[in-house]
Amino acid sequence: MKPNTIRTLLFAAAHRHPTLAAIEQNGIVISYAELEHWALCAARALISLGVEPGDRVGIWAPNLPEWVVAALGVHCAGAVLVPINTRMKGAEAADILARSGARVLFCVGDFLGAYYPDMLRDQRPATLEHVIVVGGMPRHAGGRDMDWSAFLDCAVGVEESAARQTALNVAAGDLADLLFTSGTTGRPKGVMSTHGAAVRAFTEYAKVIGLVRGDRYLIVNPFFHSFGYKAGWLTCLIAGATILPQAVFDADDILDRIQRDRISVMPGPPTLYLTMLAHPRLAQADLSSLRVAVTGAAAIPPILIERMRKALNIRVVTTAYGLTECGGLATICDPGDDATTIATTSGKAIPGTQLRIVDVDNNPVPAGAAGEVCLRGYHVMKGYFEDPRATAEAIDADGWLHTGDIGVVDARGYLRITDRLKDMFIVGGFNCYPAEVEAMLSAHPAIAQVAVIGVPDERLGEVGCAWVVTKPNCQLAAEALIAWSREHMANYKVPRFVRFAQQLPVNASNKVLKNELRKLFQVDASA
């Protein structure tokens, strides 16, 4: 029987490839048999801490081997995984932990110049009972927080057979995770996705990209995102590939790792490949092992696909489309497609997915006509966590997920994304939602009104520009607002540009005309 849950996927991989390297990091190798053992240890420890099936458990950490072990432990314990963006500040993370009701949090210690547990000290949710510090020791004595080793020691209180039985009780239709994503309301919403949907969708993904046993998969995309989690390490379990986590994006280190670790597969946003292609050491780097590249998340110039194939000598280059609400994957190009098709489209719907384009009245439009992209299939989310109203707005009575993206489907069935209804823009592979950033900026004491738009950026694809109306008799410098933003929000959300105005252009309904702001920015930039 084919695996239909993440725990059966793990058990099957351990059975088929017991001695094969599942994870490699800094000279440490964890085999698939060892990965099963440590995942069950993590499940036993969670159960000993009182975690029950259906409980939520957060992970706030970069790409580390412990992330994968902890996540698999959560799944084997029948709990629901809540990944948290490492770029978030304390208040943002605390909000997600509180609304998900997470009882346990796996949290990195020192990372990016900060001690992460300290960011929660004054705003730790009452529901959060334990914090497990990954990659370091808790700095503050007392309480129920512990390091990774002490956490695993908790496993002695639960027999392995009991944990294994708990894992076996997990069903395909059970929730696997809550991935929080923002939207037009400006507040992140928890997307509920099941085990079976993730396994089925990314089994198709592995087939299309040609992932095989023994592939060495460098995962640069963060584990807290479906691109690094489901299209990353989870896909490795499907194929029997080796997971090589990359904690931070560093072009020099990535070039070295491709050569040193004989990387064969490396997905990433276009920014990753553009940085590599522009690197001064590219000509001296040995990239001969690199076989597969998958990109997406931003508009791609056709020349990039050609350069990836020729300058980087990558034989398999493709692109895909998905959003958190459909599990991260809906369409994908065939690697045999020409460069223009791969660069300008997002491919065809994966098996089991229905794709259609509708007009403003929700009527299907003919091939070649633009409209809202709608999806229906097994991998569409179960809904937004404890938010039936938002769920009903996203999924209609016939089960179609309204993505908020504007697109065109050609006669071949290939999807091309042309615009975004939700006004979202993408900063270096991270989805950035203006309403969320606007809500944060509005808390600044000098701001009366603010509107955020995405503007082109050569390196990151797009970045934010904040148009600001200040309160009477208030002075505010652009540099000061950017500095303030860096203290209060994840870096990718921070506006790179600030423009001031006496008033913002609005329509008769008093809605800000962001197209007018984009035109004004273009005029200003060209002056």
CATH code at position 73? 3.40.50.12780
Does the structure show a pLDDT above 50 at 333?
yes
Q: With the C-alpha atoms ordered 308, 312, 317, 323, is the resulting torsion angle positive or negative?
A: negative
**Dist CA 166 CA 154 (whole Å):** 17
Average pLDDT along the chain: 91
- Co-location of 507 and 446 in the same domain: yes
Q: What pLDDT shows up at residue 440?
A: 87
Backbone φ and ψ for 212, nearest 5 degrees, come out as: -130, 165
Instruction: Provide the CATH number for the domain around residue 435.
Output: 3.30.300.30
Determine contact, residues 435/185, Cβ cutoff 8 Å: yes
Q: What pLDDT shows up at residue 390?
A: 93
The DSSP 8-state label assigned to residue 467 in this structure reads E
Q: What pLDDT shows up at residue 188?
A: 87
Q: What pLDDT shows up at residue 184?
A: 43
Q: What pLDDT shows up at residue 435?
A: 76
Does the structure show a pLDDT above 60 at 109?
yes
Q: What pLDDT shows up at residue 339?
A: 83
Determine contact, residues 461/503, Cβ cutoff 8 Å: no
On whether residue 155 sits in a domain, the answer given is yes
- Our CA dihedral for 102, 147, 245, 6, rounded to 10 degrees, sits at -50
**Dist CA 449 CA 516 (whole Å):** 16
Does the structure show a pLDDT above 70 at 508?
no
- Co-location of 133 and 172 in the same domain: yes
On whether residue 242 sits in a domain, the answer given is no
Backbone φ and ψ for 264, nearest 5 degrees, come out as: -110, -20
- Residue 462: how many other CB atoms lie within 10 Å: 19
- CA 444 to each of CA 262, 316, 469, 471: distance values in angstroms, whole numbers, following the listed order: 49, 48, 12, 10
118-131: pLDDT as tens digits: 999 889 999 999 99
- CA 491 to each of CA 9, 44, 430: distance values in angstroms, whole numbers, following the listed order: 35, 36, 10
The secondary structure element, H or E, covering residue 119 is none
41-92: pLDDT as tens digits: 999 999 999 999 999 999 999 999 999 999 999 999 999 999 999 989 999 9
Comparing 48-57, 240-249, 336-345, which segment has the lowest mean pLDDT? 336-345
Does the structure show a pLDDT above 80 at 363?
yes
The secondary structure element, H or E, covering residue 294 is strand 292-296
**Dist CA 182 CA 10 (whole Å):** 31
Instruction: State mean pLDDT over 268-293.
Output: 88
Instruction: State mean pLDDT over 105-123.
Output: 92
On whether residue 211 sits in a domain, the answer given is no
The parent domain of residue 264 ranges over: 249-420
On whether residue 224 sits in a domain, the answer given is no
- Co-location of 52 and 180 in the same domain: yes
Does the structure show a pLDDT above 90 at 449?
no
On whether residue 304 sits in a domain, the answer given is yes
Integer-rounded Cα Rg, in Å, for the chain is: 23
**Dist CA 240 CA 212 (whole Å):** 7
- Co-location of 371 and 486 in the same domain: no
271 token code pair: 């920014």
Percent of the chain surpassing pLDDT 90: 69
Instruction: State mean pLDDT over 339-359.
Output: 92
On whether residue 230 sits in a domain, the answer given is no
Number of domains in the chain: 3
293 token code pair: 């590249």
Domain edge (last residue) among 160, 195, 230: 195
- Co-location of 511 and 454 in the same domain: yes
- Co-location of 389 and 435 in the same domain: no
pLDDT interval class at 144 (50, 70, 90): low
157 token code pair: 């209180």
Which of 37, 13, 40 is closest to 242 using CA atoms? 13
Instruction: State mean pLDDT over 323-350.
Output: 92
Comparing 170-174, 459-463, 464-468, which segment has the lowest mean pLDDT? 459-463
Identify which has the larger pLDDT, 55 or 425: 55
Instruction: State mean pLDDT over 224-239.
Output: 96
Domain edge (last residue) among 399, 420, 441: 420
- Co-location of 410 and 435 in the same domain: no
- Co-location of 156 and 269 in the same domain: no
Instruction: State mean pLDDT over 393-422.
Output: 89
- Co-location of 273 and 173 in the same domain: no
* Helix/strand/coil for 193: strand
On whether residue 437 sits in a domain, the answer given is yes
Give 202's contacts (C-beta < 8 A, 6+ positions apart).
230, 231, 234, 235, 238, 329
**Dist CA 424 CA 434 (whole Å):** 6
Q: What pLDDT shows up at residue 309?
A: 87
Q: With the C-alpha atoms ordered 490, 194, 413, 362, is the resulting torsion angle positive or negative?
A: negative
Highest mean pLDDT among 97-101, 432-436, 461-465: 97-101
- Residue 250: how many other CB atoms lie within 10 Å: 13
Instruction: State mean pLDDT over 308-334.
Output: 92
pLDDT interval class at 299 (50, 70, 90): low
Instruction: State mean pLDDT over 16-27.
Output: 96
Pairing of strands 242-245, 216-219: parallel
Identify which has the larger pLDDT, 441 or 34: 34
Beta bridge partners of 316: 292
Domain edge (last residue) among 420, 455, 472: 420
Instruction: State mean pLDDT over 355-370.
Output: 92
Percent of the chain surpassing pLDDT 70: 95
Give 394's contacts (C-beta < 8 A, 6+ positions apart).
325, 384, 401, 402
Q: What pLDDT shows up at residue 311?
A: 86
**Dist CA 44 CA 303 (whole Å):** 51
Instruction: State mean pLDDT over 423-427.
Output: 84
On whether residue 254 sits in a domain, the answer given is yes
Identify which has the larger pLDDT, 51 or 442: 51
- Co-location of 383 and 446 in the same domain: no
Backbone φ and ψ for 141, nearest 5 degrees, come out as: -70, 160
- Co-location of 38 and 54 in the same domain: yes
Give 187's contacts (C-beta < 8 A, 6+ positions apart).
95, 436, 439
Instruction: State mean pLDDT over 292-316.
Output: 80
183-230: pLDDT as tens digits: 444 678 999 999 999 999 999 999 999 999 999 999 999 999 999 999
Instruction: State mean pLDDT over 16-35.
Output: 96
Does the structure show a pLDDT above 70 at 102?
yes
Q: What pLDDT shows up at residue 121?
A: 85
Angle at 464 between CA 491 and CA 424, to 5 degrees: 100
- Co-location of 400 and 437 in the same domain: no
